[in-house]
């Protein structure tokens, strides 16, 4: 079991035995590390409820813990804190338990089937920086949920059915381009051109809308163009996501939801939810106690074409039938919060949510140093591939400054892994829901809270472990800590399972980043102060090697959840 739950159980018991409510026994990580490792503040509210002296209540509960070998001290402090220190022997045994447990002491959870909708690229449109966060945050949430034991289906949810398809098809027609001869480079240029044109050229905009409708109605010409755009674009997208280390279980798109749309419309019709409004079909989703104005959700445009809300409903029905999930997560930027609010309400009215719980887990914007959405120097939208190239290029420069001898191949590998880690940790160390400032120099630095710092820590550990293997030195039993540096390192280990649980409940990869930096810092201090291979005494050396092995595994597991890879040298 995770340590906080275990300690809380103990304290809850103690409170209950003293005649107070067990809920006062909540234990938290100490905010006064100089005084204790863990603390319980429950005596303060208990005192209020029972009109007694809080310090006396704390004393009653604390008295029951005396003699418990897990603690080196159980003290009370005014006005009513209970301060707990873990004993060295217990710390060593916790580390041993953890080393023997694949799941790092995580409690078993009820296994759920979760479909995660992330990535969300548009076919025929180049990926830009706005797609980065959905991809890496979504990927991390998938991996986290899987590590906790859930069945997770990651779906890219391609935007392959909307107006952008009509725009591209219309532009291809105007240029007299055959559907077969299109390349990814063409597409990257055609969409922005067509999109710009539609804004000034009303006739073209109408044509694009008509092509969109034709595509959705099954027009053979439009379908043929669409199919060739799809195959070219998907191959291109696959390459980009491979580079990012993001892998989806499914590559369904809005087009795959299309067959479900008529059924959704039927359901809406049968339930009497459809209403005509200004030539379009809408569903009223307002509730009596809404504070904000809640306009009806549009499900069919005046020209008969579907709109994204409709395809989202179709997708939900598709997912329900294909996967029968318990939960559906949508990882998109927070500007879509209102949209999902409408969709979820509509889905509920349509009876699609009897079993599925839908959640929108939004994220903030990636800004430049000026605090505005990140742009190229020219003020345009930054392509994701360009951003990746630049980061890897800069990482290579850093790698070339390294004192460690590396082959050209190793340098390339290191530059790629460092660059990706810089991007990912730079992003995910910030809380998901907040905007953040993208600063490549800062993210790529080896100093500070960066991906490369974490990677360097693991590389060092593995270097020592490799030397131990070469010398035939085996790891042994983890001994109780004798120095502050050892103790601090061992204290960090049991926090990991709690961090995983918190990251999961908040859907916040940043929690794992915090844990990683904390543990890496403690390890680097330990490493600086102690010799491992040349330390006095076989038992001590074997114990420290075992600690290194465990720290290596813990860091690797956490980094893998964040899809950060470790270079062999740096």
Partner RNA sequence: GCUCUCGUAGCUCAGGGGAUAGAGCAUCCGCCUCCUAAGCGGAGGGUCGCACGUUCGAUUCGUGCCGGGAGCGCCA
Site for RNA in 316-345 (CB under 7 A): 334-339
How many amino acids of this chain bind RNA (CB under 7 A)?
A: 101
Residue closer to RNA (CB basis): 300 or 563: 300
Q: Residue 84 Cβ, how far from RNA at the closest point, in Å?
A: 9
Applying CB under 7 A, the span of 137-145, 242-250, 322-330, 443-451 interacting with RNA comes to 443-451
Round to whole Å and give the CA distance between 166 and 162: 7
Residues 531-550, interacting with RNA (CB under 7 A): 531-534
Strand partners, 71: 86
Residue closer to RNA (CB basis): 58 or 244: 58
**Contact map string, positions 41 to 60, toward RNA, x by CB under 7 A:** x--xx--x------------
- Render the burial of 232-270: b for 16+ CB within 10 Å, e for the rest: bbbebbeebbebbbbebebbbbbbbbbebbeebbebbee
- Please give the radius of gyration of the chain, using alpha carbons only, rounded to the nearest integer: 28
Query: Residue from 25, 119, 154, 452 that binds RNA (CB under 7 A)?
Result: 452
Q: Residue 501 Cβ, how far from RNA at the closest point, in Å?
A: 12
Residues 184-213, interacting with RNA (CB under 7 A): 209
Round to whole Å and give the CA distance between 551 and 557: 10
Distance of alpha carbon 550 from the chain centroid: 24
226 lies in the site for RNA, by CB under 7 A: no
With contact defined as beta carbons under 8 Å apart, do 569 and 459 qualify?
A: yes
Query: Residue from 255, 430, 515, 543 that binds RNA (CB under 7 A)?
Result: 430
507 lies in the site for RNA, by CB under 7 A: no
Spell out the residues 6+ positions from residue 81 whose beta carbon is closer than 8 angstroms to its own: 39, 40, 41, 43, 58
Query: Residue from 2, 39, 233, 318 that binds RNA (CB under 7 A)?
Result: 39
Tokens standing for residue 557: 């597991």
Please give the DSSP secondary-structure letter assigned to residue 474. Answer: P
With contact defined as beta carbons under 8 Å apart, do 440 and 420 qualify?
A: no
Query: Residue from 164, 315, 394, 515 that binds RNA (CB under 7 A)?
Result: 164
412 lies in the site for RNA, by CB under 7 A: no
Residue closer to RNA (CB basis): 103 or 473: 473
Tokens standing for residue 539: 């038992």
Element (H, E) at 28: strand 27-29
418 lies in the site for RNA, by CB under 7 A: yes
Residue closer to RNA (CB basis): 97 or 309: 309
Q: Residue 454 Cβ, how far from RNA at the closest point, in Å?
A: 10
Q: Residue 455 Cβ, how far from RNA at the closest point, in Å?
A: 8
180 lies in the site for RNA, by CB under 7 A: no
Report how far apart, in Å, the C-alpha atoms of 314 and of each of 97, 172, 309, 322, 364 are: 47, 29, 9, 12, 27
Applying CB under 7 A, the span of 109-117, 171-179, 221-229, 278-286 interacting with RNA comes to 278-286
Round to whole Å and give the CA distance between 475 and 181: 61
Q: Residue 96 Cβ, how far from RNA at the closest point, in Å?
A: 22
Beta-carbon count within 10 A of 93 CB? 15
559 lies in the site for RNA, by CB under 7 A: no
217 lies in the site for RNA, by CB under 7 A: no
**Contact map string, positions 104 to 143, toward RNA, x by CB under 7 A:** ----------------x-x---------------------
- My answer on whether omega of the bond before 384 falls inside 30° of 0, hence cis, is no
Query: Residue from 514, 540, 556, 557 that binds RNA (CB under 7 A)?
Result: 514
Query: Residue from 530, 540, 553, 560 that binds RNA (CB under 7 A)?
Result: 530
Tokens standing for residue 73: 């001290």
Q: Residue 462 Cβ, how far from RNA at the closest point, in Å?
A: 7
Query: Residue from 111, 217, 434, 469 that binds RNA (CB under 7 A)?
Result: 434
Q: Residue 508 Cβ, how far from RNA at the closest point, in Å?
A: 7
399 lies in the site for RNA, by CB under 7 A: yes
Q: Select from 149, 127, 126, 146 the least CA-distant residue to 138.
A: 146
Query: Residue from 119, 154, 162, 314 that binds RNA (CB under 7 A)?
Result: 162
Query: Residue from 35, 89, 250, 286 that binds RNA (CB under 7 A)?
Result: 35
Residues 455-484, interacting with RNA (CB under 7 A): 456, 459-460, 463-464, 467
In this structure, what are the phi and psi dihedrals at residue 75, rounded to the nearest 5 degrees? -125, 160
What's the burial of 512, exposed, middle or buried (CB within 10 Å: 0-12/13-18/19+)? buried
Q: Select from 553, 555, 502, 547 the least CA-distant residue to 527.
A: 547
525 lies in the site for RNA, by CB under 7 A: yes
Query: Residue from 110, 289, 378, 403 that binds RNA (CB under 7 A)?
Result: 403
> Could you please report the per-residue DSSP string of 475-491?
P-PPPPP-SHHHHHHHH
Q: Residue 371 Cβ, how far from RNA at the closest point, in Å?
A: 6
Q: Residue 459 Cβ, how far from RNA at the closest point, in Å?
A: 4
Query: Residue from 7, 11, 14, 36 that binds RNA (CB under 7 A)?
Result: 36
With contact defined as beta carbons under 8 Å apart, do 83 and 35 qualify?
A: yes
Torsion angle, alpha carbons of 546, 552, 555, 560, to 10: -130
Residue closer to RNA (CB basis): 219 or 326: 219
Applying CB under 7 A, the span of 64-72, 141-149, 257-265, 287-295 interacting with RNA comes to 287-295
Relative to beta strand 366-367, strand 436-437 is parallel
Residues 368-397, interacting with RNA (CB under 7 A): 371-372
Q: Residue 192 Cβ, how far from RNA at the closest point, in Å?
A: 13
Torsion sign over Cα 469, 473, 479, 484: negative
Query: Residue from 302, 357, 390, 483 that binds RNA (CB under 7 A)?
Result: 302
Round to whole Å and give the CA distance between 317 and 332: 20
């Amino acid at each position: 079991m995770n340590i906080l739950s275990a300690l809380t159980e103990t304290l809850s018991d103690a409170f209950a035995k003293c005649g107070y409510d067990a809920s006062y026994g909540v234990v938290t990580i100490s905010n006064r590390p100089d005084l204790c490792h863990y603390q319980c503040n429950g005596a303060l509210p208990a005192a209020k409820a029972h009109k007694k002296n809080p310090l006396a209540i704390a004393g009653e509960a604390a008295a029951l813990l005396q003699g418990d070998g897990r603690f080196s001290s159980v003290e009370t402090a005014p006005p009513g804190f209970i301060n707990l220190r873990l004993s060295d022997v217990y710390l060593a045994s916790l580390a041993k338990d953890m080393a023997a447990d694949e799941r790092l002491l995580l409690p078993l959870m009820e296994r759920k089937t979760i479909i995660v909708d992330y990535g969300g690229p548009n076919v025929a449109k180049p990926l830009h920086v706005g797609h980065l966060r959905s991809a890496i945050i979504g990927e991390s949430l998938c991996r986290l949920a899987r590590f906790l034991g859930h069945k997770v289906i990651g779906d890219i949810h391609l935007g392959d059915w909307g107006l952008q398809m009509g725009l591209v098809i219309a532009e291809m027609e105007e240029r007299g381009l055959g559907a077969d001869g299109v390349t990814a480079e063409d597409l990257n240029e055609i969409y922005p051109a067509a999109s710009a044109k539609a804004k000034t050229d009303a006739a073209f905009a109408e044509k694009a809308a008509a092509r969109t409708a034709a595509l959705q109605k099954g027009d053979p010409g439009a379908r043929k163009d669409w199919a060739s755009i799809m195959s070219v674009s998907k191959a291109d997208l696959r390459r980009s996501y491979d580079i990012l280390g993001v892998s989806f279980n499914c590559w369904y798109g809005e087009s795959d939801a299309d067959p479900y749309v008529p059924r959704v419309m039927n359901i809406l019709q049968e339930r009497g939810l459809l209403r005509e409004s200004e030539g379009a079909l809408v569903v009223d989703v307002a509730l009596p106690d809404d504070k904000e104005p809640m306009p009806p959700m549009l499900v069919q445009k005046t020209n008969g074409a579907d709109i994204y809300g409709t395809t989202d409903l179709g997708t939900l029905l598709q997912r329900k039938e294909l996967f029968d999930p318990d939960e559906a997560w949508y990882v998109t930027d927070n500007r879509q919060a209102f949209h999902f609010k409408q969709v979820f309400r509509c889905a509920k009215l349509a009876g699609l949510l009897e079993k599925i719980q839908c959640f929108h887990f939004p994220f903030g914007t990636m800004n430049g140093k000026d605090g505005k959405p990140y742009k190229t120097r020219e003020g345009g939208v930054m392509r994701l591939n360009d951003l990746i190239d630049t980061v890897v290029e800069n990482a290579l420069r850093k790698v070339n400054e390294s004192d460690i001898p590396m082959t050209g191949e190793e340098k390339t590998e290191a530059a790629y892994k460092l660059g990706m880690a810089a991007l990912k940790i730079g992003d995910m160390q910030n809380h998901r829901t907040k905007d953040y400032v993208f600063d490549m120099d800062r993210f790529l630095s080896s100093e500070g809270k960066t991906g490369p710092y974490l990677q360097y820590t693991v590389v060092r550990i593995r270097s020592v472990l490799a030397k131990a293997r070469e010398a035939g030195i085996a790891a042994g039993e983890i001994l109780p800590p004798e120095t502050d540096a050892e103790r601090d390192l061992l204290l960090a280990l049991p926090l990991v399972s709690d961090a995983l649980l918190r990251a999961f409940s908040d859907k916040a990869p940043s929690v794992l980043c915090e844990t990683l930096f904390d543990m890496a810092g403690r390890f680097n201090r330990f490493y600086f102060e102690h010799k491992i291979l040349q330390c006095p005494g076989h038992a001590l050396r074997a114990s420290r090697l075992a600690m290194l092995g465990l720290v290596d595994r813990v860091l690797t597991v956490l980094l893998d959840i964040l899809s950060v890879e470790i270079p062999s040298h740096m």
